[in-house]
Amino acid sequence: MNSTNFFNELSADSKICIFKFQEYLVLKKVHQNKRKMQVAFEKMMSIFGGKKEYEALPVLDVGERCGSTGYIDYIRLDEMTAPMMRGTDRFGRRFFIIRYRVRNGCIDRDCQTFFERFSNQDSWAQSSGLYPLIEFQGYIIDEGLVNEDAFSRLKNAIKTKSSGDNTIE
């Protein structure tokens, strides 16, 4: 007997039970993903001192814009009304952006954006101009795994308002 015949021979109550169990498994997976994303977001908020401090940042409305690579790499310096801002893009991905003065560079100012890479995964990426505030390879959080070196350098840069020759202002 193949699986199609087996399923067809089940009672209506048994079929309903199977569908409800499948739905439960899907909802459980969705809930687990949301929880992982929340943990990653809480870790990123801790860079600022916690939720209260993060939420005190001014909000930058990016509207319906979207970068060609899926990165939040389209924000211009002249849009920023404060050195550090936060927001949500058209896909519901949270981000924060930091503006800083560049010393010893061919430009005066630059910015670096940190954002949820996907709307359903616990990974945070970054995008920057010519002179990143902090430089690192890969994601700062990759499927829940934290790049501790990059994370601590970013946290320190926000705390001290500087990183190397760059000053947050």
Task: Flag the least confident range among 60-64, 88-92, 105-109.
Answer: 105-109
Reported as a single tens digit per residue, the pLDDT across 34-86 is 555 678 888 888 999 999 999 999 999 999 988 888 889 899 999 999 999 99
Reported as a single tens digit per residue, the pLDDT across 141-161 is 898 889 999 999 999 999 998
CB 98 within 8 A of CB 138: no
pTM for the whole structure: 0.77
How remote is the C-alpha of 33 from its chain's centroid? 14
C-alpha distance from residue 115 to each of 17, 128, 139, 168 (Å): 40, 12, 10, 18
Return the number of other C-beta atoms located less than 10 Å from residue 134's C-beta: 23
Residue 159 has a pLDDT of 92
Instruction: Using DSSP, state whether 80 is helix, strand or coil.
Output: coil
- Mean pLDDT, the chain, whole residue set: 83
Residue 126 has a pLDDT of 92
pLDDT at 7 over 70: no
Which sequence spans correspond to the domains of the chain?
A: 39-168
Residue 32 has a pLDDT of 53
C-alpha distance from residue 16 to each of 20, 21, 24 (Å): 6, 9, 12
Residue with tokens 């840069």: 157
pLDDT at 21 over 60: no
List CB contacts of 73: < 8 A, sequence separation 6 or more: 67, 113, 127
| 125 φ/ψ sector (left φ>0, alpha ψ -120 to 50, else beta) | beta
Beta bridge partners of 161: none
When pLDDT is averaged across residues 90-118 and rounded to a whole number, the result is: 89
Residue 24 has a pLDDT of 47
Residue 4 or residue 71, greater confidence? 71
pLDDT at 28 over 90: no
The CA distance from 65 to 42, in Å, is 25
